[in-house]
Chain A
Amino acid sequence: MEDPAEQLIRRALGRRPPPKLGPTLVDDVMRRVTVPPQSAAPGRGGPWWLAIPWLTAAGASMVVLAHLEWSGTARTVAWGLALAVVPLAYSATLWPGGALRLLALCSGGFLAAPREEPRAPR
């Protein structure tokens, strides 16, 4: 037999019934832990011709860079950027959504319209 204090505790907690375990928990857990094999993405077992646009873009970049009349340092930096960006962009389809959003956020400043320069008075 419970004393009045225990009955009060029971009343205080008993406003909501305790939850019941559903019948699908095991299946739900198994669905979450059994990861399906990744679908083929470009560069990861996809058809070779998917690389053609990227290789074309890379080739065009090289041609443009080779014809720019830049200093040696600027040319080196540009080549470095191109070599880093092209493979990164190629693998972008494999990135998680969060990384893409972050990239879009960071590149927003570069992609924004150029500022209007005030014209010098004639």
Chain B
Amino acid sequence: MAPAPDADDEAIVAEYLGSRDPDLFRLLVERHQERVFRLVAAILGPFADLDAEELTQEVFVRVHERLETFRGESRFSTWLHRLAYNRTIERRRRARLRFAHVPWGDLEESPTPDGPYEAALESERVRAVARLVDELPDVYRSVVHMHYWMDQSVDEIAETLDVPAGTVKSYLARARGRLRDRAKARNVQGLE
């Protein structure tokens, strides 16, 4: 039986657990794939050398395996978001043990300002900033990635993270503050 298109997630989960009708789970994936993918990509960031789409698939497979543990105490989207977040953070930490923080190759094509000396300075500065962003705490780094790399608005980030827009603004401000402080401590110019 085809699920009602306007049925809420929790009802679909309950129905799926009873009937195991694949169309119901497909509907859940279709509804949430974009949001989970954005979250996964934001946590991984531009230099993580992991495939965001492959990890998004893994998240949904994991959701399928653990669906019976969903008790309905929170919204399904919140539960899914938490699972995706934890899974991706875990994968990123494991990957960081194997890969360098910021591969050189990704930063060497910085725009050349005036001459070779200035270009080298700019390249080094950009690389230092990328490294500082990479060292931010998980939630701040994800928000910075969403805003400055994935070009998402505050409202879009709020929707992805399932938090109020004010919280996102606060995360961004704190992240910039931390970047400023660390840049000062390491003598990186341009983030004042």
Contacts and interface: CB of A to CB of B under 8 A. Distances in A.
A32 B179 CA distance: 41
Interface residues of A, number: 24
B61 A29 contact: yes
Nearest to A30: B26
Contacts of B57: 25, 28-29, 32
Contacts of B12: none
A13 B149 contact: yes
B129 interface: yes
A5 B46 contact: no
A44 interface: no
A8 B151 contact: no
A12 interface: yes
A120 B107 CA distance: 73
Contacts of A13: 45-46, 130, 133, 144-145, 148-149
A30 B180 contact: no
Nearest to B145: A13
A22 B53 contact: yes
Contacts of A1: none
A33 B16 CA distance: 13
Given A9-B133, A13-B46, A16-B46, A21 B53 contact: yes
B29 A26 contact: yes
B33 interface: yes
Given A9-B179, A16-B106, A25 B64 contact: no
Contact of A8 (B25, B30, B107, B129): B129
A67 interface: no
A21 B29 CA distance: 13
Residue among B46, B52, B144, B176 having the largest count of chain A Cβ atoms under 10 Å: B46
Contacts, number: 97
A19 interface: yes
Interface string A7-42: 011111111101101100110111011100000000
A21 B106 contact: no
Interface in B1-26: 22, 25-26
Given A5-B180, A9-B133, A33-B25, A19 B52 contact: yes
A88 to B, nearest CB: 28
Nearest to A26: B29
Interface string A78-99: 0000000000000000000000
A4 interface: yes
Contact of B130 (A12, A19, A21): A12
Interface in B99-144: 106-107, 109-111, 125-127, 129-130, 133, 144
Given A13-B148, A21-B33, A8 B192 contact: no
A10 B176 CA distance: 12
B68 to A, nearest CB: 13
8 contacts: A5-B192, A12-B107, A12-B126, A15-B107, A19-B51, A29-B61, A33-B22, A33-B61
